Chains A and B, each alone.
Chain A
Amino acid sequence: MRESTIMKIHYGTALGAVVLVAVHILFRITMMDYGESLEYQNVLANYKFVPYAIMLEIILVLLSVHGFNGLRVILLELKQGRSYEKAVTYGCVAAMAGLVAYGSRTILMTSMGMT
């Protein structure tokens, strides 16, 4: 993939994450008292409300993609070399996929009431 395409994704995921995290926080503040919204049953209720669970899943994907690409960029600047760069790129993609898979599993299990 071309670096400009990767960076378009990087900027796009950052913008998307900012918007959705803002929506997420607004929900916490506006629906009820903030402290109350963090109570166990209320948190579970979020996951059981499918549109909200989908939004959390999207936030997870956006932040994972953006964060791990950021980490890849930092690591590429720290040290250079063909094999090192390949390891960093594939390592970051694997870690990103792992995090998305684990997070999705949590969201899915909670929304299905498997807690």
Chain B
Amino acid sequence: MSETQGIAEEQSSTEISSQKTITLKIAKYNPDHDSSSQFASFTVPYERWTTVLDAILDVKKHLDHSVAVRYSCRQASCGSCGMKINGRPRLACFTKISELNSDVVTVEPMNNYPIVRDLVVDMGKLITNHKKMMPYVVRDDSEITTDTKEFAQTPEQLEEYIQFANCIKCGLCNSACPTMATDSSFLGPQALAQAYRYVADNRDKGKDKRLKIIDESHGIWRCHFAGSCSQVCPKGVDPAMGIQLLRGYLLGFKK
């Protein structure tokens, strides 16, 4: 029992074994009280495997437990811990301090979202736009209807959209998007990539409806094709390409 406790204690903090430290600058902002964001600096020990999220939680545990941060799975699956790390949108749980090659690590809330507090942003609009795209297969029949067989797909048909099905809704793409920075009504790369995911799915029958939704004044045509959305995606989704492929449908190059 005492041995288990000893192991648990050693794992709970990197301070015991680490010699290396970094300065972690965390943006602190409470919209109810503060007029602007201020950076709070902390010296945090780290190991080769320490992630930025680990460092933030270390600060929260030992130095300042008022730091607001959202996280869940810690394995780049849930998309909760998206934030700006050294100026670039990344997942905190997926970014190791050792790979940043910097003695100072700055963490800020993602751009293009309203700040709830410190590193936590309001993802409401992203979810609303995602839902607008009807993120489900639209059909009249279903796999449980009588006389309907399984909706089988060939590997080639799956290949058409599978990359876009990897989206974890972390919102990093929207944060990096220059159009989102100025056009508050723009649907955003996340929603548009999701629209493509279903439009390209051969089982889906909702293509016309989705194309109508994105074909509006703040829809797909406002994309400048900067490509930053694709650069920051931690799951290898390529929203910029999805948007261009969707434009192909709207311009009549693709059926």
Contact residues of A with B, CB < 8 Å? 2-4, 7-8, 11, 73, 76-78, 80, 85
| CB-defined contacts of B204 to chain A, threshold 8 Å | none
| CB-defined contacts of A77 to chain B, threshold 8 Å | 179, 182-183, 186, 222
Q: How far is the CB of A69 from chain B (nearest CB, A)?
A: 11
B72 at the interface (CB under 8 A from A): no
Q: Are A4 and B251 in contact (CB-based, < 8 A)?
A: yes
Q: Give the CA-CA distance A76 to B222 in the complex, in Å.
A: 9
With both beta carbons as reference points, the residue of chain A lying nearest to B181 in the complex is identified as: A77
Q: Give the CA-CA distance A7 to B216 in the complex, in Å.
A: 11
Q: Are B222 and A80 in contact (CB-based, < 8 A)?
A: no
Q: Give the CA-CA distance A78 to B186 in the complex, in Å.
A: 11
Q: Are A3 and B183 in contact (CB-based, < 8 A)?
A: no
Q: Give the CA-CA distance A20 to B215 in the complex, in Å.
A: 30
Return 7 A-B CB contacts under 8 Å, by A number.
Answer: A3-B215, A3-B219, A4-B251, A7-B221, A8-B251, A73-B222, A80-B184
Q: Give the CA-CA distance A78 to B218 in the complex, in Å.
A: 12
Q: Are B221 and A80 in contact (CB-based, < 8 A)?
A: no
Contact residues of B with A, CB < 8 Å? 179, 182-186, 215-219, 221-222, 250-251
Q: Give the CA-CA distance A39 to B222 in the complex, in Å.
A: 43
Q: Are B251 and A80 in contact (CB-based, < 8 A)?
A: no
| CB-defined contacts of A7 to chain B, threshold 8 Å | 221, 250-251
Query: Which residue, of A8, A77, A78, has the highest number of chain B Cβ atoms within 10 A?
Result: A77
Q: Give the CA-CA distance A4 to B221 in the complex, in Å.
A: 8
Q: Give the CA-CA distance A80 to B218 in the complex, in Å.
A: 9
With both beta carbons as reference points, the residue of chain A lying nearest to B222 in the complex is identified as: A77
With both beta carbons as reference points, the residue of chain B lying nearest to A8 in the complex is identified as: B251
Instruction: Please tell me which one of the listed residues B215, B217, B250, B251 contacts residue A85 in the complex, with CB atoms under 8 A apart.
Output: B217
6 A-B pairs besides A3-B216, A11-B251, A73-B221 with CB distance below 8 A are A7-B221, A7-B251, A8-B251, A76-B217, A77-B186, A80-B218
Q: Are B215 and A80 in contact (CB-based, < 8 A)?
A: no
Q: Give the CA-CA distance A4 to B253 in the complex, in Å.
A: 13
Q: How far is the CB of B214 from chain A (nearest CB, A)?
A: 9
Q: Are A2 and B182 in contact (CB-based, < 8 A)?
A: no
Q: Give the CA-CA distance A56 to B50 in the complex, in Å.
A: 66
Q: How far is the CB of A16 from chain B (nearest CB, A)?
A: 16
Q: A76-B183, A78-B182, A80-B184 are in contact. Are A4 and B215 (CB under 8 A)?
A: yes
Q: Are A3 and B182 in contact (CB-based, < 8 A)?
A: no
Q: Give the CA-CA distance A77 to B180 in the complex, in Å.
A: 9
Q: Give the CA-CA distance A85 to B183 in the complex, in Å.
A: 12
Q: How far is the CB of B177 from chain A (nearest CB, A)?
A: 12
Q: How far is the CB of A35 from chain B (nearest CB, A)?
A: 40
Q: How far is the CB of B219 from chain A (nearest CB, A)?
A: 6
| CB-defined contacts of B219 to chain A, threshold 8 Å | 3
Q: How far is the CB of B228 from chain A (nearest CB, A)?
A: 16
Q: Give the CA-CA distance A53 to B247 in the complex, in Å.
A: 36
With both beta carbons as reference points, the residue of chain B lying nearest to A2 in the complex is identified as: B215
Q: Are B184 and A3 in contact (CB-based, < 8 A)?
A: no
Q: Give the CA-CA distance A85 to B221 in the complex, in Å.
A: 16
Q: Give the CA-CA distance A4 to B212 in the complex, in Å.
A: 10
